[in-house]
Amino acid sequence: MNQRSSNLLDEALGLDQVIEPWPLRGRVVAIEDQVETSGSFVLHHLLKRSLSPNSSNVTIFIAFSQPFSHYDRILRKLGCNLVSQRDNSRFFFFDMLKLQCPDGDEGITPEGGLIALYGKIHKTISALPEISWKNVSIIIDDLSLMEVAANGSSDYVLDFLHYCRTLTSEFDCSLITLNHEDIYSSEDRPTFFIQMEYLADILIKAEPLATGLATDVHGQLTVSNKGRNKVSNFHFKVKENVVECFYPGRS
Amino acid sequence: LRDGALEGELAPALTIKDSVPFALQVFSHVISQLFSSILAGKSQSRGLVVVSFSRSPSFYLDLLKKGTDVASIQILDCYSDPLGWKDQLREVKHMDKLYNSIIELGKGLVGGGKIRFSIAIDSADEMLRHAPVSSVARLLSNLRSHDQISSIFWLLHSDLHEARVTAVLEYLSSIVASLEPENFSLIKHNSKKGKFHVRFKKRNGRVRVMSEEVHIEQSGINFINQGLVPKVQFSLQLSEKERIDKANVVLPFEHQGNGKPIQIYDGRRSLVDGSGEIIYYRDSDDEMPDSDEDPDDDLDI
């Protein structure tokens, strides 16, 4: 596995040095992508980093987008075995694909579904030994589908995200989310999207190049770290087993 | 904000409005400054109630901890469990309940009677998410009218709301401070500089506008004062030498003799000396000409 080239991303996030205790603890990381440049590779990369053998990190993965087998396959190519991590209680997978949020006939409202989810996350973290709390990462893939599951109510999703943020204050854990920018670009006031930007401590944007499509470069990543007041920008190329990140001009 | 409210009048209110990420630092700056004044006894208010929606209470405690007197501050925690998901009892959707909680906390701080306290609302956006504009407006208006409130201020992200919502809150404020990033460029989030515009609505109806540059550094936030001077082609300000020269000018009615009797030439040569006198009292030695203080301010018509 090519450690070197992922380092630009790790560097921007503070993951290039010691990862225990987890450098992203207490932080909210928001990944934004577009159709042309999918940001899920960032999610996979962060997942791989957090489940690294050098750390005792625990990850709670809330999946609205793909089933377990999908992530298992991808992470295996990156050199990480999700099944064994799950068995070792380092990886908790909440499959939300079947979450129906009906309009209340069965007594489960969209809000109720999210409240229950929050409760489940809270319980899972509390059950861990206190010392591991700050090494917990909550990953959500992805927010737009969560909105769909909540019957389009962005208010409930925002409430849920607020509560997840209180988790970061309470347990000092980290929250990583993925959202699609172009879904909201047609609205005159993409409130939900902007709210997410305000909420995030670290914003990672995956965008196409200003010059258009290219074979050597898939897109550009901009990492804005509010805490460190730093912005990094570089190009990336997604390969089979690894993602290469490099500054413009050096391939 | 420091001077507070007059008897029988609405308390001054400040809206900090922005669409950039560093507004929180400005808010933190205002709150620390106000709190320092409160602790130092320099302000009308004797205590501070922080209604925190978007940051955890511990954030504010850490921010303001430098004063050892934490008895002057109370934090209403609307962050940890605003909708009662964890614990059914807490709920901040109802603005009336919120009003009562705030007043109660404030009274707990300063006691009843005439002593006043200030209120800082972490985010008006969160309030507007949970309740309609009319309820929020009513809450803020009621708070301003309460005779124990010295001053109140809140943060608002203008890009999250319709223009009319922002307008409602602006109408409710006596001071509106808006933040603009330096350039609306691609890397908006990297903006470390910006413009800070403040609009004061004074009691006598006049409006004063000022503008400063804001720099965000690691250590904190810096306001670079550019003053009220508009950018025109001639110099409106005085240099130091000019200021000294001006102070040295003796105004016509001000020489009280110099040994000689005062002779006022009024066009008639038959003036007999000593029969006329002009008494001129200067209002104030340090009053700058063209100051925006209305000289008719003290008229009581």
Q: How many CB atoms lie within 10 A of CB A144?
A: 19
Q: How many CB atoms lie within 10 A of CB A249?
A: 6
Q: Is residue B189 predicted with pLDDT exceeding 50?
A: no
Mean pLDDT, range B178-204, rounded to an integer: 61
* Domain edges within chain B: 13-223
Q: What share of chain B is helix, strand, coil (3-state, %, to 5)?
A: 30, 20, 50
pLDDT recorded at residue B47: 79
Q: Is residue B147 predicted with pLDDT exceeding 80?
A: no
Q: What percent of chain B has pLDDT over 70?
A: 50
A213 touches chain B (CB under 8 A): no
Mean pLDDT, range B144-171, rounded to an integer: 81
Min mean pLDDT across A42-51, A120-129, B211-220, B276-285 is at B276-285
Q: Is residue A171 predicted with pLDDT exceeding 80?
A: yes
pLDDT recorded at residue A178: 92
The values of phi and psi at residue B208, to 5°, are -120, 135
CA distance A46 to A28: 13
Q: Is residue A162 predicted with pLDDT exceeding 80?
A: yes
Alpha helices in chain B (DSSP H): 23-40, 57-64, 95-110, 124-130, 133-145, 163-171, 240-248
For B272-298, write each residue's pLDDT tens digit: 445 566 666 655 554 455 555 566 666
Which of A118, A194, A224 lies at the smallest CB-CB distance from B159?
A194
CA distance B121 to chain A (A): 17
More confident residue, B250 or A44: A44
Mean pLDDT, range A227-245, rounded to an integer: 80
For B13-59, write each residue's pLDDT tens digit: 666 666 556 667 777 777 777 777 777 776 677 778 888 888 888 88
Which of B147, B154, B171 lies closest to B11 in space, CA to CA?
Answer: B147
Q: How confident is the model at residue A138 (pLDDT cuts 50, 70, 90)?
A: very high
Q: Is residue B6 predicted with pLDDT exceeding 50?
A: no
Query: Which domains does chain A carry?
Result: 15-203 (3.40.50.300)
A209 touches chain B (CB under 8 A): no
Q: How many CB atoms lie within 10 A of CB B169?
A: 22
Which of B85, B162, B192 lies at the smallest CB-CB distance from A163?
B85
pLDDT recorded at residue B89: 55
Mean pLDDT, range A106-134, rounded to an integer: 79
Q: What percent of chain A has pLDDT over 90?
A: 8
pLDDT recorded at residue A25: 83
Which of A115, A158, A170 lies at the smallest CB-CB distance from B85?
A115
**Which residue is closest to A167 within chain B, CA to CA?**
B80
Checking DSSP bridges between strand B221-225 and strand B207-216, what pairing results, if any? antiparallel
For B224-269, write each residue's pLDDT tens digit: 555 444 555 666 555 666 666 776 666 665 555 554 455 555 554 4
**Which residue is closest to A114 within chain B, CA to CA?**
B85
Q: How confident is the model at residue A176 (pLDDT cuts 50, 70, 90)?
A: very high
Min mean pLDDT across A26-30, A89-93, A149-153 is at A149-153
| Adjacent-strand bridge partners of B170 | none
**Which residue is closest to B189 within chain A, CA to CA?**
A224
pLDDT recorded at residue B129: 84
pLDDT recorded at residue B194: 63
Q: Is residue B271 predicted with pLDDT exceeding 50?
A: no
Alpha helices in chain A (DSSP H): 7-13, 40-50, 68-77, 82-87, 110-127, 143-149, 154-171, 191-199
* CB pair distance less than 8 Å for B129 and A233: no
More confident residue, B77 or B184: B77
CATH number for region B13-223: 3.40.50.300
CA distance B301 to B297: 10
pLDDT recorded at residue B69: 58
Q: Is the dihedral of CA A130, A134, A136, A140 positive or negative?
A: positive
Q: How confident is the model at residue B8 (pLDDT cuts 50, 70, 90)?
A: very low
Q: How many CB atoms lie within 10 A of CB B134?
A: 10
Min mean pLDDT across A172-181, A204-213, A237-246, B108-117 is at B108-117
A16 touches chain B (CB under 8 A): no
A123 touches chain B (CB under 8 A): no
pLDDT recorded at residue B2: 47
